[in-house]
């Protein structure tokens, strides 16, 4: 479906307003010394984050992160060797990926944390022969 002229004009105005509202990326680079992606903003600020914390580039090697392109609008960051994109406004709001991806990352980190309660539960399970096996319901044939 082709947009009407009015829809096109409205979208153009929304895009222009978005560019006026917030900072845009002026440059981006991977700093291997600190293991962070660094994005320079039009406001003079820089943001830096670990590639492992952003969906689509979390498993990238340093050489794959060396080639970075900024979209003409300054709102997109593209990694040609990975065919991955990051959206600057989402990064600035703290969204490093989709909701489900971010929830999985938080769960993975939480599960990896060692606490006294977890250690005590593991010791107790060990006394009983280990973690109880999952019981599968058998359906009669």
Extents of the domains making up the chain: 5-94
Q: Are strands 46-49 and 36-41 parallel, antiparallel or unpaired?
A: antiparallel
Identify the pLDDT of residue 110.
65
DSSP letter at 52? Answer: G
Residue with tokens 């058998």: 138
Per-residue pLDDT of the chain (141 residues; tens, 9 = 90+): 788 888 888 888 887 776 677 789 999 999 999 999 999 999 898 999 999 988 889 999 999 999 999 999 899 999 999 999 999 988 887 766 666 766 776 676 666 667 788 778 878 888 877 776 777 766 665
Q: How confident is the model at residue 5, as a pLDDT?
A: 87
Fold of 5-94: NE0471 N-terminal domain-like (3.30.2020)
């Amino acid at each position: 479906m082709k947009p009407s002229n009015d829809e096109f004009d409205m979208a153009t105005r929304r895009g222009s307003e978005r560019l006026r509202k917030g900072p845009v990326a002026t440059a981006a680079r991977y700093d291997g010394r600190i293991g962070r992606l660094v994005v320079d903003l039009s406001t003079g600020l820089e943001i830096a984050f670990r590639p492992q914390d952003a969906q689509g580039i979390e498993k990238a090697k340093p050489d794959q992160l060396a080639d970075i392109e900024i979209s003409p609008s300054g709102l997109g960051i593209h990694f040609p060797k990975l065919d991955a994109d990051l959206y600057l406004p989402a990064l600035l709001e703290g969204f490093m990926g989709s909701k489900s991806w971010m929830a999985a990352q938080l769960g993975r980190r939480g599960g990896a944390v060692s606490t006294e309660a977890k250690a005590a539960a593991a010791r107790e399970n060990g006394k009983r022969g280990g973690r109880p096996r999952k019981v599968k319901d058998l359906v009669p044939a």
